[in-house]
Chains A and B, each alone.
Chain A
Amino acid sequence: MANAAERAAATPANESVAAPERLARRLDESGARQRLARFGAARFEPAWLSLWAVAIGRSGETAQPAPAAWLLASSLTPRALLWPEALAFDEAACGDENWLCGGDCPTAASFETLWLWERLARPRRWGLRVQPATCRPVALPLWLGYHDGRHTRLIVLSGVSGEPLASLKPAVLAGFSR
């Protein structure tokens, strides 16, 4: 868990934390149903998970106006999600259905570590760096699937790409508990 000083380095100075903006959901219900069936889910529901986004750019550049990518994470996610384009928000999205708090904002050092893992997997982005000043809360659309066997298994699917996001499971489970 980050201490207050570290977290302050990762969040914009002298700003109160704004409500997370919702990223646009691209996978509709029928698509989610089909994909979750592929993973053996028997039931499903939509959800929103609050995360923290930080821009990735060249050292010395400000991330604005066009960062190379965004890194999405929270203090509870073991790996970050790499968002390789501009964040696309859905201004019209509303409703509080299954709003899950995904955890605190990671420290700047944590974001650096998470970005190191991503860079190891994608050497072409080696020259890019985390831009801590751009840190902002976002809400990631998810589809949650439930597989009822001996244990009920949770399947977390991105509402944007439709890919399974095992690395978000700890954050989602923590969100349930809260």
Chain B
Amino acid sequence: MGDFTLVDTLVLIVYVAGIAWLGARFGKDQESTQDYFLGGRKIPGWAIGLSVMATQASAITFIGAPGWGFDGGLERLATFINVPLAMAVLIVVLVPIFHRAGIYSIYELLERRFGPLTRSLAALLFLIARGLATGVVLYAPALVLAVVTGWNVNVTIVLMAVIAVSYTVLGGISAVIWTDVVQMFVLWLGAILSMVLMVTSLPGGWSDVFAYGAANGLFDTLDFSLDPTVTYSIWAGLIGGVVMHVAYFGTDQSQIQRVLTSPSIAEGQRSLLIGGYLLVPQMLLFLFIGVMLATYYQQHGLIAPENLNELFPRYVVEAFPVGITGLVIAGVFAAAMSSLDSALNSLSAVTIRDFYARYVKPDASERHYLRASRWATVFWGLYATAFAFFAGNLGPVIEAVNRIGSWFYGALLGVFLLAVMTHRSNGRGAVAGMIVGMAAVWAASQLGISWLYQNAVGLIVSVGVGYAVSLTAPAPSREQLSDVVIDETAPDMQALLKGRSADARIIGDDARVTRRRCIGLIVWFFVSLAALGALQLWANAQ
């Protein structure tokens, strides 16, 4: 114990090589960008759902969340408690429209609805935000490896980028999703192993953890303060957090692209259900590891490292048996690569679909676009690597990533809601809404209010300004509304269609299933809330 031994190194190498081999295998039969970016639209919902989970449990969560738990207990769960509600909104509002539109990049829908300027602006914002975040995603695990092995951080960044870029270039989104499925299990195995080993190292086991957590207020998750400067109040989590997660999972190409790979709307919705049910427990798991680490450090009289991101990996190397250390660090790698690969593939998709095929070479063959897509993946890998070299100066890593996103997410979601929910909005309003919405987020960030509220500010301002400015230009044409409007709503036509539908052959019963799924997610939200409230009440009664 105490070192990253040769056996650990071998475990890590075997794992990483295995993932690279698995990912590369998917490149063999790819002939078009539909294969490369959408996996031929035949990937099952459960695999997509696990992939979304793996991406969420990225290295920055794997490393950062135990640091959060150590520092503030479960309070930051307020940011994630809203995920079931956000998933229900996506399942009902955005997924059916995106899927029916048959698009590769969701920003294509904005061109059909608002025109090329809105599409290009939204796609450009995505490239900037996701490109920066990808650099951070690469930096975090490299930092861990440097702490664990003593290697140079920059060399580690380059090594990780080469591995992830290689299999993503060869295998596209299929490689991303199926390697994520494997990595998801490694990641959870690493986290659960850590918990078990930590508990066994405490004399009183679980009772020590709960006693320490209760005594130090680490189980105080629900803060009902109405003060907008309280960062992790339940209201900030509900109002700002729902907006942030709907925007993140619904308007960030790196997330929603995977939902578009499903063979049907129902499968796409199923993939989001997995995240809706499991993301809160997953975050709870990582935060709880932080609480356990706090207990461990207190009992052993240890002093925490200045950078809390190093807390968990340091503990792993110092306390875990040989071989297990390698496996847990492989879990960190798994998390890092699962975030990096999906980001690279989506950055490539937007670059090729929204810019290259739109403006540079609109009439090329599928083979040409496939080759260009692979080169775009390489380009973004290089960009992320270069940015990762500077990520160390951005402060606590996980917050940095969320902050980059929060500048854009609210305004971007506002534009998509304008596209889908209103029939009067047009291109002029959408562009104005997006720009003013982002300016409002910047202004809100100067007021000292919780950063979670900034997403809601961006959404409200972009929708309000976007709609008002739309009134100064002509209404959109019938064709521009074709993706979001049902032509056949007249009562007599509905009666006719219902009659025909009743006589037609059955495919499935997705509408009713979707309703049940959404109700299930809302129930799950309240169950989670009640469980956390009960834990808090119990802790405060001790």
By a beta-carbon cutoff of 8 Å, the part of chain A in contact with chain B is 33-34, 36-45, 78-79, 123-124, 144-149, 151-155, 163-164, 166, 169-170, 173, 176-177
Contacts of A151 in B (CB 8 A): 486, 488-489, 494
Tell me how far the C-beta of B45 lies from the nearest C-beta in chain A, rounded to whole angstroms: 12
- CB within 8 Å for A38 and B264 given contacts A45-B505, A152-B494, A176-B500: yes
Find out whether the CB atom of B265 lies under 8 angstroms from the CB atom of A154. Answer: no
Please determine whether B497 and A42 come into contact, CB atoms closer than 8 angstroms: no
User: Can you list 8 A-B contacts (CB < 8 A)?
Assistant: A38-B264, A40-B96, A45-B504, A124-B363, A146-B500, A147-B510, A149-B511, A173-B493
Q: Which residues of B sit under 8 angstroms from A155, Cβ to Cβ? A: 100
Query: Which of B482, B487, B497, B507 is within 8 Å of A37, CB to CB?
Result: B507
Expressed in whole angstroms, the minimum distance between the Cβ of B478 and any Cβ of chain A is: 7
Residues of B within 8 A of A164 (CB): 100, 102
- A145-B507, A146-B497, A173-B493 known; A39 vs B487 contact (CB < 8 Å): no
Beyond known contacts A148-B511, A177-B493: 11 more, CB 8 A cutoff: A38-B99, A39-B264, A39-B265, A41-B507, A43-B506, A146-B501, A148-B498, A151-B486, A151-B494, A154-B497, A169-B487
| Interface of chain B residues 34 through 69 with chain A (CB within 8 A) | 41
Closest 10 CB pairs between A and B? A146-B501, A43-B504, A40-B265, A45-B504, A152-B497, A38-B264, A37-B264, A149-B511, A148-B511, A43-B501
Which of A37, A43, A163 lies in contact with B505, CB distance below 8 A? A43
Q: State whether the Cβ of B509 lies closer than 8 Å to any Cβ in chain A.
A: yes
Q: How far is the CB of A150 from chain B (nearest CB, A)?
A: 9
Contact B96 A154 (CB under 8 A): no
Is B99 in contact with A42, judged by CB distance below 8 angstroms? no
Within 8 A of A (CB), among B484-521: 486-489, 493-494, 496-498, 500-511
**A150 — nearest CB in chain B belongs to which residue?**
B511
A37 pairs with B263, CB closer than 8 A: yes
Are B501 and A148 in touch, CB under 8 angstroms?
yes
B500 / chain A contacts, CB cutoff of 8 Å: 45, 144, 146, 176
B266 at interface, CB cutoff 8 A: yes
Q: Which residues of B contact A144 (CB under 8 A)?
A: 500, 504
The yes or no answer to B306 lying at the interface (CB within 8 A) is no
| B496 near A42: Cβ-Cβ < 8 Å | no
Distance in angstroms between the alpha carbons of A39 and B479 in the assembled complex: 19
A6 to B263, CA, bound (A): 46
CB contacts (< 8 Å) of A43 on chain B: these are 501-502, 504-507
Known: A38-B264, A39-B99, A78-B478. A173 touches B507 (CB 8 A): no
Nearest B residue to A38, CB-CB: B264
Contacts A37-B263, A78-B478: A146 and B99 contacting too (C-beta < 8 A)?
no
Task: Specify which of A38, A78, A123 is in contact with B41 (CB 8 Å cutoff).
Answer: A38
Q: Separation in Å of the A126 CB from the closest CB of chain B? A: 13
Chain B's closest residue to A78 (CB) is: B479
Q: Nearest Cβ distance between residue A117 and chain B, in whole angstroms?
A: 10
The answer on a CB contact under 8 Å between B497 and A40 is no
A177 close to B496 (CB less than 8 A): yes
B479→A37 contact, CB < 8 A: no
Known: A78-B478, A78-B479, A152-B494. A37 touches B99 (CB 8 A): no
List chain A residues, Cβ under 8 A from B265. Answer: 38-40
* Min CB gap B58→A, angstroms: 30
Alpha-carbon distance A38/B260, docked complex (angstroms): 10
A176 touches B496 (CB 8 A): yes
Complex Cα spacing A168 to B351, Å: 32
Kindly provide the distance from the CB of A159 to the nearest chain B CB, expressed in whole angstroms.
15
Residues of B within 8 A of A152 (CB): 488, 494, 497-498, 501
Q: In the complex, are the beta carbons of B509 and A42 less than 8 A apart?
A: yes
For B498, the chain A residues whose CB sits under 8 A away are: 148, 152
Q: Is B488 a contact of A173 with CB atoms below 8 Å?
A: yes
Bound-complex Cα distance A124 to B263 (A): 33
Contact B487 A40 (CB under 8 A): no
